Homo-oligomer: A and B are copies of this chain.
């Protein structure tokens, strides 16, 4: 029995190939420090957990396809804190940010239409584009200038009749770059010129560091018809498993069309929408404390990583990832080596090889994404293993005498 040709072409999660090695390491009694995933160890707000504990319905009924009104109203107030004016009718709740991206592709694009995206990028977008048969046209950002936005000309060069929009993630997963107001305005002007959409995934909105403020794509009223914001509760409130996200746009045609998809899948998860609505009532200090904690972890991790010979990384401005250049021939081979052949004081480190974060074949082969969502002690142990593992790998596998 044959599977479809298309599913064969879909990528496996770039981390997935490593999972058996990680499992084997754990079975050997090795503690694996997971620098490969963005699963924070920070507690979900107690408001959200309490809302779950006091869930008062006796039937978990179908909800509204576009999401519970109380949750959408809560988001209206949440955005207002950022000076962003939206109404509940500008918001559709989705089953995670993942579903939001899928709805956007399906709503804006016909098969073989194109979206321009800076790479490295959030790799699951590739699968969502594949499902919708949308071609991703990459614009490569470089570690040489800390993954800043490539020039507007680079974007413009890639626009053709099939281009329906540009997709960003800001603060960026995996690079940590935060797009400036000027960068966004430049892209918006370009989008206006060619009458295309700008879609921005802002799920890390709160996690901007060094006292810098964040510019939301929703804060440009003069372009609001061509702006779509992807949002999610996962990272902000450390509730990744709750699968509650949103599409936010002033363009009612987009939401009207996406509603057809939303209705077919009936509704987002009911209990977790209650938890999400309650999370919005967490005091501002919750997110502020989390932000401070991540900023601290970033500082600790970057300065430690920069002390590893041959490793190159610079200070990310937001989110909780960065992309690091490693002095290896192949980051995936090295990642497997770390899990299969290396340990230090009973520990090793799992990293995410960056190749899967690029559309362009061959790029990212010597890079990895590092997530700094664990506590300081774990991070430092992870880095220590990396440093020692690199030394052994370069000597024994690559045959280099440093």
Contacts and interface: CB of A to CB of B under 8 A. Distances in A.
Interface of A: 1, 3-8, 10-13, 16, 37, 39-44, 48-49, 52-55, 57-63, 95-96, 98-99, 102, 106-111, 113, 124, 127-128, 131-133, 164, 195, 197, 225-226, 238-243, 251, 253-254, 257-261, 263-272, 275
B60 A260 contact: no
A10 to B, nearest CB: 4
A259 B7 CA distance: 10
Contact of A106 (B4, B242, B251): B4
B271 A12 contact: no
A244 to B, nearest CB: 8
Q: Which 5 A-B pairs have the closest CB atoms?
A: A241-B270, A127-B264, A269-B269, A60-B239, A98-B265
22 contacts: A1-B226, A1-B253, A3-B253, A4-B106, A5-B110, A13-B260, A16-B263, A43-B58, A43-B59, A44-B57, A52-B52, A59-B238, A60-B239, A61-B240, A98-B266, A131-B131, A131-B261, A240-B266, A243-B266, A243-B270, A270-B272, A271-B271
Contacts of A124: 263-266
A260 B127 contact: yes
B7 A60 contact: no
A341 to B, nearest CB: 26
Nearest to A3: B257
Oligomeric state, in number of copies?
2
Contacts of A16: 263
Given A195-B1, A269-B241, A260 B106 contact: no
Contacts of A131: 106, 131-132, 261
A39 B62 contact: yes
Given A62-B241, A241-B271, A266 B44 contact: no
B7 A260 contact: yes
B60 A275 contact: yes
B261 A127 contact: yes
B95 A128 contact: no
Most B C-beta atoms less than 10 A away, residue of A12, A59, A267: A59
B59 A243 contact: no
B111 A6 contact: yes
B54 A7 contact: no
A7 B96 CA distance: 21
Nearest to A105: B4
B107 A7 contact: yes
A52 B98 CA distance: 24
A112 to B, nearest CB: 11
B58 A49 contact: yes
